[in-house]
Structure 1
Amino acid sequence: MNYYLRSKIFLFALLGVTAFSCTSDDQIQYEQYVIYGGDLYIQHCSNCHGVNGEGLRDLYPPLKGSDYLANRVKIICAIQNGLKGEIVVNGKKYNQVMPKNNQLYSLDHAQIATYIYDKWGDESTKKLVTVEEVEKANCNY
């Protein structure tokens, strides 16, 4: 059974369980973003950053254990617009182009960012990245 189908089955099971539980609407939305964001991450990000967020040697930075995750706006902008030029992650320099993906929308960006923070962020960053947050991010730096 492929990853996409398993995640959809999991989502429907999760929705069924939460329909009869005390889970808040916010928690349900968060879980949905994590599931869909995981699918999008696998499709669009894992080739360079790795399925487990470990990066690719000296070419692409890790997300797992990354100090770069401390700045949500930078993460959102990188997902939205890609990156060009040198960045420093955990004291190490990286200078590969991260292309912009014109097929993704603000909702997709929010879901990917939510997944990244859920998977590799610390407890203070494990929260929903909203579409509004994505659309208000000042990416002109």
Structure 2
Amino acid sequence: MRFWSGLSLVVLIFLGSISCQDDQEIKRQRYITEGILIYKNTCANCHQNKGQGLASLYPPIAGADYLTNKSDVICLIRYGHQGALVVNGKTYNRPMPAQPQLSDLEVAELTTYLYNEWGGETKVTDVKTVTPILQKCKHRE
């Protein structure tokens, strides 16, 4: 009888650890799904559906060296950008409009999508991470 109770405990612990991973994966998929919708509605017109950018006008997101600084990307999403921006060694000089209508959660969802799709990540950029970054860059404006 002790064998089964010990085995049952091991099975419960194992199932509990899978459940936690599944919860994280469910959250990641939810963020990505919402991020895709936000991207299609606010970003794809310039950066295109596959993130390749548009000729010399708008920089690519896919394969962009600019993705190395996530805080800058998060600030760029909310507050936009004026002036020259160098991406992959090429200078782009079209303004990127601010997206003040996006909530902190929506910025987190969009960021999660961008980095999972084109930045080599497989994790969530949680709203708890995004909010303090947005507060910091707000004071730089």
TM-score interval for Structure 1 and Structure 2 normalised by the shorter chain: 0.7 to 0.9
Q: Give the TM-score, by structure 2 length.
A: 0.79
Runs ≥4 in structure 1, deviation > 6 angstroms?
none
1:1-141 alignment runs, 5 A limit: 22=19, 23-122=21-120, 125-137=121-133, 138-139=136-137, 140=140
CA RMSD of aligned residues (A): 1.5
Q: CA deviation at 1:53?
A: 0.1
Task: Indicate the SS of the match to 2:91.
Answer: strand
The AA in structure 2 aligned to 1:100 is A
Which structure has greater helix proportion? 2
Q: CA deviation at 1:24?
A: 2.2
C-alpha distance after superposition, 1:63-103 (max 9, x if no partner): 00100001000110111111111111000001111111232
Unmatched 5+ residue regions in structure 1? Answer: 1-20
Distance in 2 (alpha carbons) for counterparts of 1:91 and 1:118? 23
> How many percent identity over aligned positions?
40
Q: CA deviation at 1:126?
A: 3.1
Q: Give the TM-score, by structure 1 length.
A: 0.79
Distance in 1 (alpha carbons) for counterparts of 2:95 and 2:123? 28
Task: Indicate the SS of the match to 2:62.
Answer: coil
- The structure with more radius of gyration: 2
Unmatched 5+ residue regions in structure 2? Answer: 1-17
Distance in 2 (alpha carbons) for counterparts of 1:48 and 1:126? 25
Task: Indicate the SS of the match to 1:88.
Answer: strand
Distance in 1 (alpha carbons) for counterparts of 2:129 and 2:83? 24
Report how many aligned residue pairs link the two structures: 119
